[in-house]
Amino acid sequence: MFHADFSFGIAYALSTDDEAVEDPGRVPRNTSEEGIMWGKVLMLTGAMLLVGCGDDDTIFVPVGGPAPPVAVDAAYYNRAVTVYWELASGWNGEAFRIFGKRVGDASFLLIAEVTSCSSGLCEYTDTNIVSNVSYDYFVSAVDPVSGVETESDRTVRVVVPSFTPPPVPTSLEVIALDATNYLRWNDDARSDGEFSAYRIYLLSDGGATQTLLGASDSPGFLDALAENGVTSTYAVSSVDIFGHESATSTRREGTPRPDFTGELVYSFADQPALSGFRFSESDLDDPIVDGLSTMRHFRLETDVSGWWLVPGPSAEVYPAGVFTTELKCGVAADAACVDWTTAPLSGYSPTGIGIAVVPEFTYMWRVTEGGGVVRYGAVRVALLGIDQLGAELMIFDWAYQIQSGNPQLVER
């Protein structure tokens, strides 16, 4: 008992002396009974300290301690401070203790012990923090046998900012393209001085599951993984430079569908084999068919009064077209762009009743396939004219929603 008490007394006295000459930037640990328990032991040079206690009894007190943690640093991100450090070359499997305190407090507190590291790197994440407060940290290595601690050579300070995230994105729209959905939204979150980016989520299970699809530093995103005929649901959040993330926006859906530009069909009177058209689900299928084919959805006819689209056996046309500047106002459309994106659900002309067409108008179609499956399509006339042989023709753009019953041809 005498030897143990005497040895501890030496260790404490030396530790106290060392605190007096420590770097003035280091705030001493608590010197209460609890603080002394975790107090720093001054590392003495030499392999052993020889203490004489009498003529016949001599004790040896081992000195030296674990290699201290090196390159200690800390950083704040998303309501947590991560303290990290590297293993010294002399590290021998010792555990580490992390101490921290608020700036302005007198004493450090032991907040955690780390017993394993990966690939020479160690870290601890402190989530017991509050906003708009600064914190100091240091790390010590602990000998598991003697209890001797060796502290890192520096204390690191982290300033914790406000936890308030940027504003929630608003006005999310999904513009359905061919095998792609284009998302755009209001850019108001950028007004936050600490704004960093937007995160785009793919929702499933009625919104219960959110999968991060990607990020964008602008108010737009192109989902090139979307599939024709498959509805995808999206939401968007905003994130600041500290990782604070807003709630997600109102969810929106989009269903890509095939669309094509610059399609050409001839008048039935001039080129009957090239006068029919069938909405196609794949760009591998030729949509131009014979004007007499029962598979056609319409054919082009002309007479002295103009150009007509006449429905085939399984198709109906809406009796009025709408002036448009584009088939769809997509990614690069200007502010004056006009489109017609939603097919009417009813009011179509009886099968076989055609419609007179003029350039720059879009016409909606309802197609009923086998088993009563209903799909919708759109045709925008680009021009009506003749070729070098005098054959009358129509050049047009078209879109087809291959998801049954979905009238949304561009935006949902």
pLDDT tens track, the chain, 412 positions: 333 332 222 222 223 333 323 333 344 454 343 443 334 333 333 333 333 334 444 333 345 689 999 999 999 999 999 999 999 988 999 999 999 999 999 999 999 999 988 888 999 999 999 999 999 999 999 998 888 999 999 999 999 999 999 999 999 988 887 788 888 899 999 999 999 999 999 999 888 899 999 999 888 888 889 998 899 999 999 999 999 999 999 999 999 888 788 889 999 999 999 999 999 887 788 899 999 999 999 999 999 999 999 999 999 999 999 999 999 887 777 889 999 989 999 999 987 889 999 999 999 999 998 888 999 999 999 989 888 788 899 999 999 998 999 998 753 3
Q: From CA 30, how far away is CA 106, in angstroms rounded?
A: 8
pLDDT of residue 175: 83
Cβ atoms of 318 and 348 within 8 Å: the answer is yes
Q: Where are the beta strands (DSSP E) in 58-194?
A: 58-62, 70-76, 81-86, 95-102, 109-114, 121-126, 133-142, 149-151, 156-160, 173-177, 180-184
What dotted CATH number matches 2-160?
2.60.40.10
Q: From CA 291, how far away is CA 265, in angstroms rounded?
A: 10
Q: From CA 383, how far away is CA 389, in angstroms rounded?
A: 17
DSSP letter for 9, please. Answer: H
Cβ atoms of 393 and 266 within 8 Å: the answer is yes
pLDDT of residue 203: 95
Same fold, 2-160 and 173-254: yes
pLDDT of residue 55: 45
Give the residue extent of every domain in the chain: 2-160, 173-254, 259-401
Sheet holding 306-311, edge to edge: 288-289, 276-277, 298-303, 306-311, 355-357
Three-state SS for 302-337 is: EECCEEEEEECCCEEECCCCEECCCCCCCCCCCCCC
- 173-254 carries CATH number 2.60.40.10: yes
C-alpha dihedral over 246, 250, 251, 257, to 10 degrees?
-120
- Would you say the pTM of this structure is higher than 0.85? no
Half-sphere exposure of 301 (CA within 13 A, CB side): 16
pLDDT of residue 42: 33
**Residue among 134, 229, 128 at smallest CA distance from 176:** 229
Helix (H) or strand (E) segment spanning residue 204: strand 195-204
pLDDT of residue 63: 53
